[in-house]
């Protein structure tokens, strides 16, 4: 049973990584009941000083189910702040997804964003250069 679950997890991770064609990250953290994934990080089209961050929460034995609507996601940033909320925000999923906006301060920055659902925690490290270009670092 453990081997089957491991194989299913690897297959699920490959599917997620291959389906991430928008250039966004696919950084995953999981436990036996939940999977938390940073699905997309982009500069907001109408607000270039903001990053839009999408988080996907899955559940079930093979993580094939999206978390129910209203699943609480706590998100924290090491620097900067979330639009209208400071460095810590709590939101809820809709269709297994949660989207937040991170306000960037002028100049170069390196921030770590942490998303937590129950006891599952995923981290994302983002570097923004002086010219405003963004990259995900491991």
pLDDT in tens, 50-109: 889 999 999 988 889 999 999 999 999 998 899 988 999 999 999 999 999 999 877 788
- Sign of the C-alpha dihedral computed for residues 100, 38, 111 and 113 taken in this order: positive
pLDDT (0 to 100) of residue 137: 85
In whole angstroms, what is the distance from residue 26 CA to residue 116 CA?
A: 16
Q: Which fold has domain 2-137?
A: Immunoglobulin-like (2.60.40)
* HSE-CB of 108 using CA atoms within 13 angstroms: 2
pLDDT of 2-32, one tens digit each?
444 333 333 333 333 333 334 455 566 677 7
In whole angstroms, what is the distance from residue 41 CA to residue 38 CA?
A: 8
pLDDT (0 to 100) of residue 80: 87
pLDDT (0 to 100) of residue 136: 87
Which H/E stretch holds residue 117?
strand 109-117
pLDDT (0 to 100) of residue 49: 82
Q: How many residues does the chain have?
A: 138
pLDDT (0 to 100) of residue 26: 53
pLDDT of 109-136, one tens digit each?
889 999 999 989 999 999 888 877 788 8
Residue 49 or residue 21, greater confidence: 49
Neighbours of 38 (CB within 10 A): 23
């Amino acid at each position: 049973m453990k081997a089957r679950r491991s194989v299913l997890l690897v297959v699920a991770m490959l599917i997620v990584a291959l389906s991430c064609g928008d250039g966004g990250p696919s950084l995953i953290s999981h436990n036996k009941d939940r999977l938390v994934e940073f699905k997309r990080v982009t500069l907001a089209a109408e607000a270039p000083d903001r990053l839009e961050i999408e988080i996907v929460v899955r559940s079930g034995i093979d993580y094939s189910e999206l978390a129910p609507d209203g699943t609480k996601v706590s998100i924290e940033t090491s620097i900067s702040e979330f639009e209208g909320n400071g460095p810590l925000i709590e939101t809820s999923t809709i269709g297994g997804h949660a989207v937040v906006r991170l306000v960037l301060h002028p100049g170069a920055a390196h921030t770590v964003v942490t998303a937590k659902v129950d006891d599952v925690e995923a981290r994302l490290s983002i570097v923004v250069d002086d010219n405003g270009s963004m990259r995900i670092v491991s």
